């Protein structure tokens, strides 16, 4: 038995940090190393659009200082990218002169990166995704010079980026392939209401059912050709059409990958002593029972905690979760839980709305499976617990706090 | 780890706890003053019930906080107010429906024991019916169980 066990964590966002701090709590004497490919210590990835819009200062963006790592005795290696893993001899290979770092237990929390598509590929002068601190810095520099931006994709990231850019005085056009905002996390009515609010802003324009065919660099600007035939000259382009997991270094390791890393309930991959958590994994969707990538901060944190417990030899399991998200922008508060676009047999919609707010609860086989709410979001957590526990509608109405949630009082 | 216990059969909805909370929060931060009280007695489905932060052992709101504003301290779930950006994630995951938005400040607010009395907070002191208690779950649940057994024997 070795004196000290070495826990190695790839990735320094919420999954990596949560796992490290839990591992430290459970194993006060062991060695913990975090490898990060970014040059800065822990920061809140979800806040970079707030930073872009000047709603928060830089010090508010950073959540874990170098002192925090020192105090917890966690070794943080910045700007270190993992290029390969040898599970047999238990070491990872980094990009720094192919240096090898041995491990006893490994956690892969490498996250994901923005997805690009043919015709719109990354360009050093101004085609980028919005994912990291460096992206935010680049975008701030671009927004200070340019006055017109194109955002491809009207998902949560795209809209929050647009909100940030508008606050810097940039005219923003959003192009979305689907007929609605936010992909699968919205219905037609909510999309309509939010779109109306967004486009009432003079600096924002949204085109639905449109895609970008290609972008060409002309006269220090980008000319984007859209599928509806228009051409648009912009200073820079932000692509937010989705993400793909950072798992290239897993080739030939035997770790099973189905789009993202497959993990069991203990967050262990198919290779012993290699665990994974965060945006680079597929988890069970509790509503459909299918494996799905749900890239969400709270889920990454819970997964990491479960992984840390199991890595320390304790028992804990992560059953899965449901898709959800909530956002505040343009003076609007929006929350969506579960499957909000379900249609067909056995589906009942309960709608509670007036001209100021809109709430909808979706029931399948008499059990709530989805909920969305525009502008009136109080007590959404109560409904989340009802959806997670698959409580029948009649029982939902008997929830001790049901009298607070108007939608639960509908017939 | 202490948490709040509420005995609905003892509560007569006098709301003294709410008043005590507001009084005690008067010396707190601006957000606290605006959002107080942090305990609400409402008439639920089967009698009075309380909406109040339980300061959970494994708080889902802390995991959900994308700004790392909420944190789990030794005894309480606290909030670094300057870090809060009002994203509603805590509201979305709290099964007790606790964190509430303070719209004019674009921040979320919840009980952070700004009254400063972790052992015997003003809301509990104000309850002269004994309906609200702050206690260790192991001790309190044992008491409840014993009471039930005694009741059963007496019958």
Q: How open is the CA angle B102-B103-B104, to the nearest 5 degrees? A: 100
Q: Which of B45, B93, B101 sits opposite A400 (nearest CB)?
A: B45
The residue of chain B nearest to residue A401, with distances taken between CA atoms, is: B44
By residue count, chain A amounts to 411
Residues 6+ apart with CB under 8 A from B32: B25, B109, B112, B114
Residue B149 inside a domain? The answer is no
Residues 6+ apart with CB under 8 A from A116: A122, A129, A239, A241
- Cα–Cα dist B49/A235, whole Å: 56
Q: How many folded domains does chain B comprise?
A: 1
Residue B111 inside a domain? The answer is yes
Query: Is there a contact between A402 and B87 if contact means CB atoms under 8 Å apart?
Result: no
Query: Is there a contact between B67 and A377 if contact means CB atoms under 8 Å apart?
Result: no
Q: Is the peptide bond before B37 cis (omega within 30 degrees of 0)?
A: yes
Q: Smallest CA–CA separation between B68 and chain A, in Å? A: 6
Residue A135's region, left for phi above 0, alpha for psi from -120 to 50, else beta, is alpha
Q: Smallest CA–CA separation between B63 and chain A, in Å? A: 5
Residue B152 inside a domain? The answer is no
- Which residue out of B39, B57, B88, B98 would a mutagenesis test of the A interface target, given it has the greatest number of A Cβ atoms within 10 Å? B88
Q: Smallest CA–CA separation between B10 and chain A, in Å? A: 16
CATH of the domain at B45: 3.30.70.20
Query: Is there a contact between A401 and B42 if contact means CB atoms under 8 Å apart?
Result: yes
Q: Is the pLDDT of residue B155 over 80?
A: no
Residue B51 inside a domain? The answer is yes
CB A359 within 8 A of CB A352: yes
* Nearest alpha-carbon partner for A2 in A22, A42, A29: A29
* Nearest alpha-carbon partner for B123 in B40, B9, B44: B40
Query: Is there a contact between A401 and B97 if contact means CB atoms under 8 Å apart?
Result: yes
For residue A385, the chain B residues in CB contact (below 8 A) are 95
Q: Which residue in the block uniquely carries the two structure tokens 């991959």?
A: A269
Query: Is there a contact between A297 and B89 if contact means CB atoms under 8 Å apart?
Result: yes
pLDDT value of position A1: 58
- Cα–Cα dist A129/A113, whole Å: 8
The residue of chain B nearest to residue A51, with distances taken between CA atoms, is: B85
- Cα–Cα dist A265/A382, whole Å: 25
**How far is the first Cα of chain B from the last one, in angstroms, to the nearest whole number?**
34
For residue B49, the chain A residues in CB contact (below 8 A) are 400-401
Residue A119's region, left for phi above 0, alpha for psi from -120 to 50, else beta, is left
Residue B65 inside a domain? The answer is yes
Residue B22 inside a domain? The answer is yes
Query: Is there a contact between B45 and A397 if contact means CB atoms under 8 Å apart?
Result: yes
Residue B17 inside a domain? The answer is yes
Per-residue model confidence as pLDDT tens digits over B135-149: 888 888 888 888 888
For residue B60, the chain A residues in CB contact (below 8 A) are 298, 381
Q: Smallest CA–CA separation between A373 and chain B, in Å? A: 11
- Rounded to 5 degrees, φ, ψ at A178 are -80, 165
Q: Which of B51, B63, B87 sits opposite A301 (nearest CB)?
A: B63
Q: Mean pLDDT across the stretch B48-61?
A: 88
Strand partners, B49: B42
Residue B54 inside a domain? The answer is yes
- Cα–Cα dist A370/B67, whole Å: 26
Per-residue pLDDT of chain A (411 residues; tens, 9 = 90+): 567 889 999 999 999 999 999 999 998 889 999 999 999 998 988 899 999 988 888 888 898 889 999 999 999 999 899 988 988 888 999 888 888 899 999 999 998 999 998 888 888 888 899 999 999 999 999 888 888 999 999 988 999 999 999 999 899 999 999 988 888 888 888 899 889 888 888 999 999 999 999 898 888 888 989 988 898 899 999 999 989 999 888 888 888 888 899 998 889 999 888 999 999 999 998 888 888 888 889 999 999 999 999 999 898 899 888 999 888 887 788 889 988 888 888 888 888 888 888 888 898 888 888 898 888 767 888 888 888 888 888 888 888 888 788 888 887
Give, in order, the Cα–Cα distances in Å from B90 to each of A254, A320, A386, B77. 38, 19, 16, 12
Q: Mean pLDDT across the stretch B64-81?
A: 89
pLDDT value of position A2: 65
Neighbours of A401 (CB within 10 A): 20
CA B60 to centroid of chain Cα atoms:
15
Q: Smallest CA–CA separation between A410 and chain B, in Å? A: 14
Strand partners, A244: A113
The residue of chain A nearest to residue B8, with distances taken between CA atoms, is: A400
Neighbours of B88 (CB within 10 A): 24
- Cα–Cα dist A293/A115, whole Å: 14
- Cα–Cα dist B105/B149, whole Å: 50
Which residues of B lie closer than 8 Å to A, measured between beta carbons?
Answer: 42-46, 49, 51, 60, 63-64, 66-68, 82-83, 85-89, 91-98, 100-101, 106
Residue B77 lies in domain:
6-134
Q: Is the pLDDT of residue B1 over 80?
A: no
Q: Smallest CA–CA separation between A192 and chain B, in Å? A: 21
Instruction: Provide ipTM, 2 decimals.
Output: 0.84
The residue of chain B nearest to residue A160, with distances taken between CA atoms, is: B87
Identify the burial level of B125 via C-beta atoms within 10 angstroms of its C-beta, where 0-12 means exposed, 13-18 middle and 19 or more buried.
middle
- Rounded to 5 degrees, φ, ψ at A170 are -95, 135
- Cα–Cα dist A344/A365, whole Å: 11
């Amino acid at each position: 038995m070795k004196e000290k066990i070495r826990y190695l964590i790839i990735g320094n966002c919420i999954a990596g940090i949560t796992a490290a701090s839990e591992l430290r709590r459970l194993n006060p004497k062991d060695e913990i190393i975090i490898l990060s490919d970014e040059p800065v210590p822990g920061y809140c990835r979800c806040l970079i659009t707030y930073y872009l819009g000047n709603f928060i200062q830089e010090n508010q963006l950073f959540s874990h200082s170098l002192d925090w790592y020192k105090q917890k005795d966690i070794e943080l290696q910045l700007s270190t990218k993992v290029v390969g893993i040898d599970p047999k001899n238990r070491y990872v290979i980094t990009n720094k002169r192919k240096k090898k770092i041995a491990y006893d237990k490994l956690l892969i929390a490498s996250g994901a990166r923005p997805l690009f598509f043919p015709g719109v590929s990354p360009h050093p002068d101004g085609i980028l995704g919005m994912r990291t601190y460096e992206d935010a810095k680049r975008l701030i520099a671009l927004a200070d010079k340019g006055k017109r931006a194109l955002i491809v994709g009207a998902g949560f990231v795209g809209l929050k980026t647009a909100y940030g850019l508008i606050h810097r005085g940039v005219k923003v056009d959003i192009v979305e392939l689907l007929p609605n905002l936010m992909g699968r996390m919205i219905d037609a009515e909510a999309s309509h209401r939010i779109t109306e609010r967004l486009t009432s802003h003079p600096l924002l324009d949204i085109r639905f059912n449109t895609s970008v065919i290609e972008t060409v660099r002309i006269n220090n600007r980008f000319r984007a050709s859209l599928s509806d035939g228009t051409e648009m000259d912009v200073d820079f382009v932000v692509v937010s059409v989705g993400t793909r997991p950072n798992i290239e270094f897993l080739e030939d390791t035997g770790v099973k990958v189905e789009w993202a890393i497959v993990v069991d309930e203990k967050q262990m991959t198919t290779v012993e002593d290699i665990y994974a958590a965060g945006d680079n994994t597929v988890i069970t969707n509790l509503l459909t029972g299918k494996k799905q990538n749900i890239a969400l901060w709270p889920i990454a944190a819970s997964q990491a905690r479960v992984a840390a417990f199991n890595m320390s030899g304790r028992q804990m399991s992560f059953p899965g979760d449901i898709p959800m998200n909530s956002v505040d922008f343009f003076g609007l508060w929006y929350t969506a839980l579960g499957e909000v676009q379900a249609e067909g047999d056995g589906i009942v919609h309960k709608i509670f709305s007036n001209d100021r707010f809109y709430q909808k609860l979706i029931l399948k086989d008499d059990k709530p499976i989805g909920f969305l709410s525009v502008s009136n979001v109080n007590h959404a957590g109560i409904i989340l617990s009802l959806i997670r526990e698959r409580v029948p509608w009649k029982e939902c109405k008997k929830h001790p706090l049901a009298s607070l949630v108007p939608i639960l009082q509908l017939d | 780890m202490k948490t709040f216990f509420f005995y609905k059969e003892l509560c007569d909805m006098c709301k003294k706890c709410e008043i005590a909370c507001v009084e005690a929060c008067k010396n707190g931060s601006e957000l606290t003053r605006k959002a107080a009280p942090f305990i609400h007695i409402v008439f639920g489905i089967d009698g009075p019930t309380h909406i109040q932060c339980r300061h959970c052992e494994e708080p889902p709101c802390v995991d959900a906080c994308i700004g790392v504003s909420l944190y789990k301290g030794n005894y309480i779930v606290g909030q670094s107010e300057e870090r809060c950006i009002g994203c509603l994630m805590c509201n979305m995951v709290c099964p007790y429906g606790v964190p509430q938005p303070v719209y004019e400040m674009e921040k979320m607010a919840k009980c952070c024991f700004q009254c400063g009395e972790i052992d015997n907070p003003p809301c509990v002191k104000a309850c002269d019916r004994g309906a609200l208690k702050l206690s260790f779950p192991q001790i309190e649940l044992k008491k409840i169980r014993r009471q039930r057994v005694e009741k059963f024997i007496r019958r």
